[in-house]
Amino acid sequence: MQAASRIFQALQKGGPTFGAWQMLPGRNVSRALAGTGIDWVCVDCEHGNVDDAAMHEAVSALAASGVSPIVRIPGNEGWMVKRALDSGAHGVVVPLLNTPQEVETLVRTAKFPPTGIRGFGSPFPMSTFPSPTPLSSATYLQQANTTLLTIIQIETSSALQHVDTIAAIPGVDVLFIGPFDLGINIGHPIVNNVIPKPLEDAILQVKQAADTHGKKTGMFCTSGAQSREWADKGFDMISIAADFAALGELVGRTLAEAKGGSKEGGASGPYGR
């Protein structure tokens, strides 16, 4: 099972992994993103136009294309964790966590007993770990706890305050920074795509905590240059683009060039302008 998870293998190997955000529904959107050569795609059920059925379709399409599907759920609700993992996601991203106690609850809902309380019974996830020998439900049950990623978003002032304790919690795999929300919550928002120095310091504080406790660190970026910058700083899981913003940016730039001009710049917000 671990061999069939591209994101698991990439993180074990070391060095940056690159992914993208899927906010638009549809298998063909998933296939288009997967065809770019990225390691993983986060199917965004928090801010994206992705309902439960669309999530299931995206997860299966991404896995069939050889890319790890990750699902961001709308909030820290046990049934949402269950739905995401039961669809076959290789990991779950959980936003707006605040305390170590909330994170401990999340970990329990993401793990089968005796480690946690996740229920067993979905017929879908075995097919999202393709291998020469089909994955059995028994193998999935036995290996899921050590293969599926639990990804904690650090994007509130409370989570930042408790980041060292959160990073130390067993079962937490990745601390993923939501820089836009984190900046707003600590009073130093990103404006015109510029990260203020206090926010940069907070981001590096999260990385230090992750490094101390042997965890990986993720970062949401809005351009290739920004992605390279954070990769060079040692971040492990980097989102390079979101589908909605990338589509608008490409068409806008192409139209400007067709009219005889040029279009400079990139997204100034997390998902576009």
For residue range 6-31, list pLDDT tens digits in order: 999 999 999 999 999 999 999 999 99
Q: What sign results for the dihedral spanned by CA atoms 266, 25, 130, 69?
A: positive
- The single residue of 47, 90, 188, 213 carrying the catalytic annotation is 47
Q: What is the pLDDT of residue 136?
A: 95
Distances from the Cα of 107 to the Cα of 120, 166, 172, 221, angstroms? 16, 11, 7, 26
Q: What is the pLDDT of residue 261?
A: 81
Distances from the Cα of 195 to the Cα of 115, 221, 257, angstroms? 39, 11, 29
CA 45 – CA 57 distance, rounded (Å): 13
Residue keyed to tokens 């939501």: 178
Phi, psi torsion values for 217, nearest 5 degrees: -125, 135
Q: What is the pLDDT of residue 96?
A: 94
Alpha helices in 65-99 (DSSP H): 78-86
Q: Give the SS3 label for residue 188.
A: coil
Q: What is the pLDDT of residue 271?
A: 60
Judge contact between 116 and 93, C-beta under 8 A.
Answer: no
Burial class of residue 115 in the structure, from the number of CB atoms within 10 Å of its CB (0-12 exposed, 13-18 middle, 19+ buried)? middle
Rg (CA), the chain: 18
Q: What is the pLDDT of residue 269?
A: 64
Torsion of CA 133, 9, 72, 267, to 10 degrees: -130
Q: What is the pLDDT of residue 133?
A: 83
Number of Cβ atoms within 10 Å of the Cβ of 164: 15
Query: What would the two tokens of residue 14 be?
Result: 């070391």
Query: What would the two tokens of residue 137 be?
Result: 């439900």
Entry pTM: 0.94
Phi, psi torsion values for 220, nearest 5 degrees: -90, 120
Judge contact between 176 and 150, C-beta under 8 A.
Answer: no
The answer to whether 188 is a known catalytic residue is no
Average pLDDT per 10 consecutive residues for the chain, totaling 273 residues: 96 96 98 98 98 98 97 97 98 97 98 97 95 90 98 97 98 97 96 92 98 98 95 97 95 94 62 58
